[in-house]
C-alpha cells in the first residue's frame, strides 16, 4: 500500500462511512437505466428534509402581491409563492412570510429586506406585474421591475426578478432562471425532458420507442447531447432546441457517457470496442473523434473542469471503480478517491475546488464531496435509499441528484452541505439530472414550453 493511500485513509472524514466492494461493470452500469418502474406523472415540489446548514442564510420577508379581488384565476402558483419557493431553494435565504407588511415581525426575524408587488389584469388577457425589493426599516425601494406577460410566463418573470434580487443583495448570479435536463419514464419508455430548475414547466425532448438517457447540455444551452438505443447499441445523439436529431460519431461502435467542454463545445465520451471502454474526444460539428487517453484500464463518466483545463473520470485501474483526474491532453493522471472501493460519476463544482460523486456505502449509493486531492470528504446523503447522479448548480450553491428514498426515483435539490433536501419531481421515475449553464440572456431560454 502506498504512502499516499495511508495518508488519505488517516485523514479526518466529516462523516464516518464504510464502502463495500464492487467491481466496475459497464454492462451493469447501463442496465441500471433499463430497470422497470412506474410511468411518469405530474410535476410537483415537496420539501422532505430541512436538515441543518453550516452556511449563513439571509432572512428575507415575502408579502403577497396586491391584486384586484376575484379578478384573476391563477393556473399555478401566485407570484409570492413562486418567489418563496425560489428563496427556499436558493440556499441563500430564510423566508419570513407575512400576509402584509409587518415591521415588528421582520425586525424580530432580522429580515432587513422584503419582497412584494402588485398584479393588474390588462387588455388581451395579460398581466402587469410590478415587483419590488424594499428595505424593511425605511421602505426604500432597492429594486423595482415591471413585466407585462401572459400567465403562462409568470414563473419565468418571477425567476428573472428573483435572480436580480440575489444579485442586488449578494452581488452574485442566481440560478432561478436556469434549467434541468433529466430522464423521465413516459408511457413505459425513458425519455429526455427539460424543466425549470424547480421542476415546473416540463418539456419532452425525445419521443422515441427506445430508451434515451444520459443528457448533457450543449455549450451556451443551445441544445442537448444524449444517448439513444435506436441501433440496439448506445449511440450519442444531439438535438438543438427547435431542431432535428443528429447522430454523432456513427463510425464508432458504442458511444455514451458524454461530457461537453464548456469552452470549446467538444465532447468527451466513452466508447466500447471488444469489451474495452476508453475515453474519446470529438467535435460534434466535424464528426471527427480520436482516443483521448491510452490506458489499459476501462474509463467512463468523464467531467470537464470549469475552465476545461482538466478532466475527471471513473476507472477500474485499481480493481474497483475509482475517480481519477488528468490534464486536458491526457497527461498528469492521478487518483482522487481512496476511501472505499466503489466511487463514480464525479461532477466538478463551478469554483473548481471540489467534486461531488457517488459512492457505495453498505450496499446503498450515497453522495459525497471532497477536495481535488481526495481530502476533506463530506457525506451529503445517508439512510435515505439510493442517491446518485449529483450535478452542481452553475453558482455552486446547490446540488441536484436522483434518489429512490420515496419508493421511486425522483429528482431532488439540496444545498452544497447536504441540507434543505427538496424533491422537485412528484411521481413516475425521474433520474440522471444535469444542470444547465447560466443563460447569458434569460429572455432567450429554450428547451421548455
pLDDT of 56 reads: 80
- The vertex-39 CA angle with 245 and 431, nearest 5°, equals 60
pLDDT of 192 reads: 98
- For the chain, domains (ranges, CATH) are 3-35+178-437 (2.120.10.30), 57-170 (3.40.50.10070)
Helix (H) or strand (E) holding 358, with range, is strand 354-361
Q: How many CA atoms lie within 13 A of 108 on its CB side?
A: 7
Residue-wise pLDDT for 413-428, tens only, equals: 999 999 999 999 997 8
pLDDT of 31 reads: 37
* Residue appearing with cell numbers 426599516: 137
Taking the C-alpha atoms of residue 279 and residue 123, their distance in angstroms, rounded to an integer, is 57
pLDDT of 112 reads: 98
Which stretches of the chain drop beneath a pLDDT of 70? 1-55, 441-449
Taking the C-alpha atoms of residue 422 and residue 18, their distance in angstroms, rounded to an integer, is 26
pLDDT of 33 reads: 38
Partners of residue 280 on adjacent β-strands: 269, 291
For residue 98, what are the CA distances in angstroms to 64, 81, 120? 8, 12, 21
Residue-wise pLDDT for 113-157, tens only, equals: 999 999 999 988 899 999 999 999 999 999 999 999 999 999 999
pLDDT of 68 reads: 93
The reported pTM is: 0.86
Q: Answer for the pair 374, 336: CB distance below 8 angstroms, yes or no.
A: yes
DSSP 424-443: ---SS-EEEEEEPPPPSSGG
Amino acid at each position: 500500500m502506498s504512502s499516499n493511500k495511508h495518508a488519505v485513509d488517516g485523514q479526518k472524514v466529516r462523516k464516518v462511512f464504510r464502502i463495500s466492494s464492487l467491481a466496475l461493470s459497464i454492462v451493469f452500469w447501463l442496465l441500471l437505466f433499463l430497470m422497470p418502474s412506474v410511468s411518469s406523472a405530474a410535476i410537483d415540489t415537496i420539501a422532505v428534509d430541512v436538515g441543518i446548514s453550516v452556511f449563513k442564510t439571509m432572512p428575507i420577508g415575502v408579502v403577497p402581491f396586491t391584486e384586484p379581488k376575484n379578478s384573476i384565476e391563477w393556473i399555478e402558483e401566485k407570484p409570492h409563492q413562486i418567489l418563496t419557493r425560489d428563496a427556499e431553494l436558493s440556499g441563500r435565504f430564510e423566508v419570513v412570510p407575512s400576509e402584509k407588511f409587518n415591521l415588528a415581525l421582520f425586525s424580530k426575524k432580522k429580515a432587513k429586506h422584503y419582497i412584494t408587488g402588485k398584479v393588474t389584469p390588462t387588455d388581451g388577457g395579460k398581466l402587469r406585474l410590478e415587483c419590488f425589493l424594499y428595505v424593511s426599516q425605511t421602505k426604500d425601494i432597492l429594486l423595482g421591475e415591471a413585466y407585462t406577460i401572459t400567465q403562462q410566463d409568470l414563473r419565468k418573470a418571477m425567476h428573472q426578478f428573483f435572480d436580480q434580487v440575489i444579485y442586488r443583495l449578494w452581488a452574485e448570479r442566481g440560478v432561478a432562471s436556469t434549467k434541468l435536463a433529466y430522464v423521465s419514464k413516459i408511457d413505459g419508455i425513458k425519455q429526455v425532458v427539460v424543466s425549470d430548475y424547480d421542476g415546473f414547466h416540463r418539456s419532452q425532448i425525445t419521443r422515441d420507442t427506445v430508451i434515451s438517457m444520459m443528457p448533457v447540455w450543449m455549450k451556451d444551452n443551445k441544445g442537448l447531447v444524449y444517448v439513444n438505443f435506436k441501433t440496439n447499441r448506445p449511440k450519442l445523439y444531439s438535438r438543438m432546441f427547435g431542431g432535428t436529431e443528429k447522430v454523432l460519431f456513427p463510425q464508432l461502435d458504442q458511444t455514451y457517457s458524454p461530457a461537453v467542454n464548456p469552452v470549446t463545445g467538444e465532447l468527451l465520451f466513452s466508447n466500447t470496442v471488444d469489451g474495452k471502454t476508453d475515453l474519446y474526444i470529438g467535435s460534434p460539428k466535424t464528426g471527427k473523434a480520436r482516443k483521448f487517453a491510452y490506458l489499459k484500464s476501462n474509463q467512463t463518466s468523464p467531467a470537464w473542469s470549469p475552465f476545461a483545463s482538466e478532466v475527471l473520470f471513473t476507472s477500474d485501474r485499481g480493481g474497483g471503480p475509482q475517480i481519477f483526474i488528468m490534464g486536458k491532453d491526457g497527461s498528469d493522471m492521478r487518483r482522487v478517491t481512496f476511501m472505499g472501493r466503489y466511487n463514480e460519476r464525479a461532477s466538478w463544482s463551478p469554483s473548481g475546488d471540489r467534486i461531488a460523486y457517488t459512492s457505495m456505502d453498505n450496499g446503498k449509493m450515497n453522495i459525497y464531496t471532497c477536495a481535488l486531492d481526495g481530502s476533506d470528504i463530506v457525506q451529503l446523503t445517508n439512510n435515505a435509499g439510493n442517491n446518485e447522479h449529483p450535478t452542481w448548480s452553475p453558482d455552486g450553491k446547490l446540488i441536484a441528484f436522483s434518489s429512490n428514498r420515496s419508493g421511486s426515483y425522483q429528482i431532488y435539490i439540496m444545498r452544497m452541505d447536504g441540507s434543505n433536501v427538496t424533491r422537485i419531481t412528484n411521481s413516475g421515475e425521474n433520474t440522471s439530472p444535469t444542470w444547465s449553464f447560466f443563460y447569458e440572456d434569460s429572455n432567450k431560454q429554450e428547451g421548455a414550453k
